[in-house]
Amino acid sequence: MPRAGLSPDAVVDAAVTVVDEAGPAALTLAAVANRAGVATPSLYKHVRNLAEVRRLVTVRVMEELTDRLREAALGRSRDDAVRALMRAYRAYVVEHPARYAAMDQRPDPEPRAAAAADRLLGIILAVLRGYGLDGEDLVHAARSLRSAVHGFAVLEAAGGFGLPEDLEKSYGLLIAMVTGGLPGPTA
């Protein structure tokens, strides 16, 4: 019988806390069980193995990021939406660097993970469709936007920018470069 108060969501909560406190490499079933206040075998009533815990952490992070991006882009269009989305994405990574690092960046065919990834990508695609992009052009633009924001934010979160110049100005330039590369208004 599952322990009262312990559920798959509670296991993910404990796993995310482990990641936040000690980094993705510290994510073990023993660490999650310790955080949840149970013996490791008790976890098996709620999750199959560590791979499932990692997948569920990825899903949680994708859901949090999706909510952030949706809220940022809501009611905005074109450059305003891209700016808001890029700022929200960066803020999430900088606020939760270990959690973000724990998110598997590779496509996962498992239904929960695939659905979470589709929702996250859907926000980015919706914003970019405001430029009239579709098909291959939409995919290329989404890849470019994601790569730009991911790269900057991960470097920033890791302390990779050692020069004294203002990071906000650098990020503003990156946003201008991304928006400047998107199609202009159609007549």
pLDDT of residue 186: 54
pLDDT of residue 185: 64
pLDDT of residue 187: 43
User: Nearest Cα to 128, choosing from 177, 90, 79?
Assistant: 79
The Cβ of residue 74 has, within 10 Å, a number of other Cβ atoms equal to 10
Ordered structural domains, the chain, with CATH: 1-47 (1.10.10.60), 55-180 (1.10.357.10)
Place of tokens 């994405």: 89
Question: What sign does the dihedral 36-39-40-45 (CA atoms) show?
Answer: negative
Phi-psi region of 58 (alpha: psi -120 to 50; beta: other; left: phi over 0): alpha
pLDDT of residue 184: 72
Place of tokens 């633009």: 141
pLDDT of residue 117: 97
Report pTM. 0.92
Per-residue pLDDT of the chain (187 residues; tens, 9 = 90+): 345 578 999 999 999 999 999 999 999 999 999 999 999 999 999 999 999 999 999 999 999 999 999 999 999 999 999 999 999 999 999 999 999 999 999 999 999 999 999 999 999 999 999 999 999 999 999 999 999 999 999 999 999 999 999 999 999 999 999 999 998 765 4
